[in-house]
Amino acid sequence: MATQTSDLLAAAAPRTVDVVRGIADDQLDLPTPCRDYVVRDLLNHLFEVVVNFQELAVKRPVEWSAKPDHLTDDWRDRFETETRRLIDAWSDPSTLEGVSPGMGMPQTVVGGMALLDLTVHGWDLAVATGQAYEPAPEAVAELHGLVEQLG
């Protein structure tokens, strides 16, 4: 089964996964459009997003203060695997019901936040590493409304 959120994540994910796979090890210390992040930091943040939002999908609390280094052996393959798990986690319609205990906002908004990070940070990483990036049009359309809602 799928939800609109999982479908949108599935549309956005391959584009960001391709960018992540295209990042060379010697690019990890390059600056990104996110002023506080170099490529390595932004990759670790995005890893944290795809892992933690799997837990948020099933309404489990997450620990945001832990900052593990995800860029160890086979990190590109692991990012792709975790991103697939993120899509799967949001495919159950019950993930969109109610309010997130960990985030205090509707689950539909939480799912949208995962899409936002996956899309925007895919672009950030592409710009930082000189790669082409075209966001999924359906994701952009959805995110326009979410960004307006979040203010």
CATH of the domain at 121: 1.20.120.450
Cα(36)–Cα(2) distance, rounded to whole angstroms?
A: 35
What percent of the chain shows pLDDT beyond 70? 98
Instruction: For residue 72, report the phi and psi dihedrals to the nearest 5 degrees.
Output: -105, -165
Burial class (CB in 10 A: 0-12, 13-18, 19+), 114: buried
pLDDT (mean) for 38-62: 96
Domain count, the chain: 1
68-96 confidence digits (pLDDT tens): 899 999 999 999 999 999 999 999 999 99
The closest alpha carbon to 19, from 114, 119, 125, 106, belongs to 125
Q: Which domain holds residue 137?
A: 4-150
The reported pTM is 0.94
Distance CA 89, CA 102 (A): 16
pLDDT at 1 over 70: no
Per residue in 98-129, pLDDT (tens digit) is: 999 989 999 999 999 999 999 999 999 999 99
Up-side HSE of residue 123: CA atoms within 13 Å toward CB? 13
Burial of residue 43 (number of CB atoms within 10 Å: 0-12, 13-18, 19+): buried
Q: Tell me what pLDDT residue 126 has.
A: 99
Is there a contact between 121 and 45 (Cβ–Cβ < 8 Å)? yes
CA distance 82 to 50: 6
